């Protein structure tokens, strides 16, 4: 089904360009508020944001929309996306909203919606809201207009929640951690939580100015973290993205650890403790074949879902899994949270580090990844329908000849086509990806 506003992770786009305008944001608030005005109780929505400049505008527009249909608004300020999910449940709210474009630059923004259970809305709910956005929506009578209230302790509540996922019998005394908050939503919570658990914390990416979110820093730009870990002799580095729902780790040697290796670690530990559910984990079609082989060797399965943490979570709930995630660093630990949480995932890694007696370079390199290459190509028009592109894709599949995987998809959050190939022959993988990318560019 073609959708006008919602993508794979809420609504996202260039600020002040449809659909990411104040006018549309207000309509989203009116539509979502109306959709969740159910029951006779006083209705509430939690709205939070990351640190990009346009957050002020989008927060105000959403507040206007929700209050105009009779829903009270609780404004939480800049906090991570998983904190919104947590607060929505804790405050018995009907909805949660995160204003964020995640790992994108400051010029973009987005709207992520959570239901009263703290889970992202289903496709069906989003479809109903989308249908209402362009229609006339009944507004509340003057006496029934909602109120807006800002809570000042949202950060503290989230820090307490995150720390509660760390084993009570462990401390981080003596562990030197560099944490990179991408000048984003976790700038005031991640380092504080680690310090309260006893770590020696060196924080970078904690000076947001409205423009620098994800700018050459954070989980999608880990070079700054790698350099800092090596310069300071830290035991480990932790990189979050702009809304702190994903995690990338850097070991003490400066090597990048992606979500696949982190999922292997937490899954293996859960298997040893007898707490693993579902007989394996859920990942996406992007996860490395090496992870699948490692799981198979332990008698576990890898269930692949579509790209997007919401689809991972849907598969987890359907199959009874309690661990899932994406190679990009979204990790969903269902025993702790209803959505991806970079800080909570980092705390599980740190718990393993202090209890296992191994350096991060050994602890977090559990399998040898199969050579994999992913490139993104910006596009206009419909290149995947072009005959030359189709021919290049067919040729690539033939060259891999069953000894690898080829995945071509349009991004749900940006105007790019992702071209990914993996196989045991690194040179062949590179050639296949480059040929297809060249065809897309020429189309």
CATH number of the domain residue 340 falls in: 3.40.120.10
- Answering whether pTM is above 0.85, one says yes
Q: Are 419 and 438 in contact (CB under 8 A)?
A: no
Q: d(Cα 146, Cα 155) in Å, to the nearest integer?
A: 24
Task: List pLDDT tens digits, range 130-159.
Answer: 999 999 999 999 999 999 999 999 999 999
Phi-psi region of 325 (alpha: psi -120 to 50; beta: other; left: phi over 0): left
Residue 402 pLDDT greater than 80, yes or no? no
Residue 413 pLDDT greater than 90, yes or no? no
Task: List pLDDT tens digits, range 239-298.
Answer: 999 999 999 999 999 999 999 999 999 999 999 999 999 999 999 999 999 999 999 999
What's the pLDDT score for residue 196?
98
- Do 77 and 122 lie in one domain? The reply is yes
- Kindly state the tokens that stand for 197: 């658990």
- Do 355 and 377 lie in one domain? The reply is no
Catalytic residue among 102, 287, 328, 337: 102
72 within a domain of the structure (yes/no): yes
1 within a domain of the structure (yes/no): no
Q: Residue 1: pLDDT band by 50, 70, 90 thresholds?
A: low
Average per-residue pLDDT in the chain? 95
Number of structural domains the chain divides into: 4
Residue 400 pLDDT greater than 80, yes or no? yes
- Do 291 and 245 lie in one domain? The reply is no
Out of 152, 187, 220, pick the residue that ends a domain: 152
Task: List pLDDT tens digits, range 198-220.
Answer: 999 999 999 999 999 999 999 99
3-class secondary structure, 148: strand
Task: List pLDDT tens digits, range 23-79.
Answer: 999 999 999 999 999 888 889 999 999 999 999 999 999 999 999 999 999 999 999
- Do 164 and 127 lie in one domain? The reply is no
Q: Catalytic residue at 135?
A: no
What percentage of the chain carries pLDDT values higher than 70? 99
Q: Residue 428: pLDDT band by 50, 70, 90 thresholds?
A: very high
Task: List pLDDT tens digits, range 350-387.
Answer: 999 999 989 999 999 999 999 999 999 998 888 999 99
Q: Residue 310: pLDDT band by 50, 70, 90 thresholds?
A: confident
- Do 331 and 383 lie in one domain? The reply is no
Q: d(Cα 40, Cα 49) in Å, to the nearest integer?
A: 29
More confident residue, 163 or 122: 163
- Do 267 and 354 lie in one domain? The reply is yes
Beta-sheet pairing, 200-204 with 176-180: parallel
Residue 215: domain span:
159-253
The residue assigned the tokens 């072009």 is 386
Contacts of 172 (CB under 8 A, 6+ apart): 194, 197, 198, 199, 350, 354
In a 13 Å sphere around the CA of 365, the CA atoms on its Cβ side amount to 13
What's the pLDDT score for residue 2?
66
Out of 108, 129, 152, pick the residue that ends a domain: 152
113 within a domain of the structure (yes/no): yes
Q: What is the CATH number of the domain that holds 399?
A: 3.30.310.50
Cross-sheet strand order for the sheet of 44-49: 6-7, 10-14, 108-114, 95-99, 44-49, 72-78, 148-150
């Amino acid at each position: 089904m073609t959708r006008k506003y919602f993508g794979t992770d809420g609504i996202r786009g260039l600020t002040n360009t449809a659909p990411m305008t104040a006018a549309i944001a207000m309509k989203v608030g009116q539509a979502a508020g109306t959709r969740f005005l159910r029951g006779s109780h006083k209705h509430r929505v939690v709205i939070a944001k990351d640190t990009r400049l346009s957050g002020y505008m989008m927060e105000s527009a959403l507040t206007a929309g929700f209050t105009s249909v009779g829903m009270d608004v609780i404004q939480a300020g800049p906090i991570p996306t998983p904190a919104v999910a947590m607060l929505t449940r804790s405050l018995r709210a009907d909805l949660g909203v995160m204003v964020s474009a995640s790992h994108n630059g400051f010029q973009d923004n987005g709207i992520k919606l959570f239901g009263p259970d703290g889970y992202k809305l289903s496709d069906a709910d989003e479809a109903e809201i989308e249908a209402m956005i362009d229609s006339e929506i009944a507004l509340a009578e003057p006496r029934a207009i909602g109120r807006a209230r800002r809570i000042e302790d949202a950060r503290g509540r989230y820090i307490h929640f995150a720390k509660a996922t760390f084993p009570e019998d462990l401390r981080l005394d003596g562990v030197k951690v560099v944490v990179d908050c991408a000048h984003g939503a976790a700038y005031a919570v991640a380092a504080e939580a680690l310090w309260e658990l006893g770590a020696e914390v060196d924080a970078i990416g904690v000076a947001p100015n409205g423009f620098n979110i994800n700018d050459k820093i954070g989980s999608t730009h880990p070079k700054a973290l790698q350099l800092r870990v090596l310069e300071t002799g830290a035991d480990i580095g932790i990189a979050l993205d702009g809304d702190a729902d994903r995690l990338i780790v850097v070991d003490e040697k400066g090597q990048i650890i992606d979500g696949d290796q982190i999922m292997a670690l937490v899954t293996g530990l859960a298997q040893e403790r007898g707490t693993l559910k579902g007989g394996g984990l859920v990942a996406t079609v992007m996860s490395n074949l090496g992870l699948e082989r490692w799981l198979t060797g332990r008698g576990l399965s890898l269930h692949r879902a579509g790209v997007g943490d919401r689809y991972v979570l849907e598969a987890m709930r359907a199959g009874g899994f309690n661990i899932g995630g994406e190679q990009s660093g979204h990790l969903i630990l269902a025993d702790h949270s209803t959505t991806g949480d970079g800080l909570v995932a980092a705390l599980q890694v740190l718990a393993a580090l202090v209890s296992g007696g191994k350096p991060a370079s050994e602890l977090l390199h559990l399998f040898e990844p199969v050579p994999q290459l992913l490139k993104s190509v910006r596009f206009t028009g419909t290149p995947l329908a072009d005959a030359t592109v189709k021919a290049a894709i067919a040729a690539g599949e033939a060259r891999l000849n069953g000894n690898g995987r080829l995945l071509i998809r349009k991004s749900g959050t940006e105007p790019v086509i992702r071209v990914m190939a993996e196989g045991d022959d690194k040179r062949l993988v590179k050639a296949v990806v480059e040929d297809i990318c060249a065809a897309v560019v020429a189309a």
